């Protein structure tokens, strides 16, 4: 019984860690895209975004 509870706790912790890491990575990528978009002259943000992806 205790082993099962421990496995559930570890599983929930792992899932929460993956979700938090995904949120932080996505937030960082969005921040980088906004920063690069701000460096470009008006109208060339799409080009900057495609350059960032490549």
The tens-digit pLDDT sequence of the chain (54 residues) is 577 888 999 999 999 999 999 999 999 988 888 777 766 565 555 555 666 665
* 3-state per-residue secondary structure call for the chain: CHHHHHHHHHHHHHHHHHHHHHHHHHHHHHHHHHHHHHHCCCCCHHHHHHHHHC
- At residue 16, the pLDDT reads 96
Q: Are 53 and 45 in contact (CB under 8 A)?
A: no
């Amino acid at each position: 019984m205790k082993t099962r509870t421990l496995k559930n706790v570890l599983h929930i912790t792992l899932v929460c860690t993956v979700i938090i890491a995904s949120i932080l990575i996505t937030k960082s990528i969005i921040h980088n895209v906004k920063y690069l978009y701000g460096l470009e002259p008006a109208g060339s943000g799409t080009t900057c975004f495609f350059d960032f992806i490549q």
